[in-house]
Amino acid sequence: MTPLMAEFLGTMLLILLGDGVVANVVLNDTKGNNSGWIVITTAWGLAVFVGVTVAGPYSGAHLNPAVTIGLAIAGKFPWASALSYIAAQLLGAMAGSFLVWVMYYNHFQRTNNPGLVLAVFCTGPAVRNYVSNIASEIIGAFVLIIGVLYITGAQITPTQTPVGLGSVGALPIALFVWVIGLSLGGTTGYAINPARDLGPRIMHAILPIKSKGTSDWAYAWIPVFGPVIGAVIAACLYLQLR
């Protein structure tokens, strides 16, 4: 499997399972309806485990433009490959959210709340305050990227098996995402991944979903730029401390 295909497939699985648990919890008449935040955060952590396990040996399993940018700034990943990785991640996120729509089609049909429909695809703030919202995304992404940088350790390139990731290293990354969701996710829904939010938001905008409202593009820049800023801060700090 090529690195770009691994990034696409890993991100697709991440979003299929991550957005899938949100659909299971918030859409009407599912088996998991109203099962709560612990279910959502746990499944997102496990979704990361699955994505990293599949993609890790082939691409390093970034699955997140913020991870790609953070690794590139830290000198662990070549800038020349960054744009193609990010494109693969975005397309994978779009594909994963499309599969969630297919999987839960009947339940989308029975859900008349546009806010719940949108929540399946992308994040939104509990309290809309753009300054504090972007701060939340910066802090959450900072924790994730610092963790990734210290777990990976050695040099990573798209053509070698990355140190610290893969089927064994997937667990600590999954635990990082899980605890970020439990501890820091209550403010914005912890996108901490531009592709995770933007790709499904695009699909929400274009799919023929019953009772669909706005895709909230006024907020969409926060889960894109917040994680990138957090990644830059984490990588710069890492370079200073190592």
Give the residue, 28 or 157, on which the prediction is more confident.
Answer: 28
Quick check: 117 pLDDT over 80?
yes
Q: Return the pLDDT at 33.
A: 96
Beta strand spans in the chain (E): none
Mean pLDDT score across all residues of the chain: 93
Which two tokens mark 129? 């305050």
> Which of 7-16, 52-61, 104-113 has the weakest average pLDDT?
52-61
Question: Using 50, 70 and 90 to split pLDDT, how confident is the model at 1?
Answer: confident
Question: Using 50, 70 and 90 to split pLDDT, how confident is the model at 128?
Answer: very high
Q: What is d(CA 34, CA 28) in angstroms, rounded to the nearest whole number?
A: 9
The mean pLDDT value for 39-47 works out to 98
Domains and CATH numbers, the chain: 3-241 (1.20.1080.10)
HEC assignment per residue over 7-25 = HHHHHHHHHHHHHHHHHHH
Using CA atoms, how far residue 58 sits from 3, 79, 110, 137, in Å, is 5, 18, 40, 28
Tell me, what DSSP letter sits at residue 187? T
The mean pLDDT value for 43-68 works out to 95
Q: What does the radius of gyration of the chain's CA atoms come to, in whole angstroms?
A: 17
Q: Return the pLDDT at 68.
A: 95
Quick check: 183 pLDDT over 70?
yes
Whole-prediction pTM? 0.94
What's at 17, amino acid-wise?
Answer: L
Q: Which residues of 72-92 are buried (b: 16+ CB within 10 A; e: fewer)?
A: bbbebbeeebbeebbebbbbb
> Which of 84-93, 123-132, 142-151 has the weakest average pLDDT?
142-151
Which two tokens mark 240? 């200073």
Q: Which long-range contacts (CB under 8 A, 24 or more apart) does 28-33 make?
A: 28/107, 28/110, 28/111, 29/106, 29/107, 29/110, 30/104, 30/107
Percent of the chain with pLDDT over 90: 86
Q: Return the pLDDT at 220.
A: 98
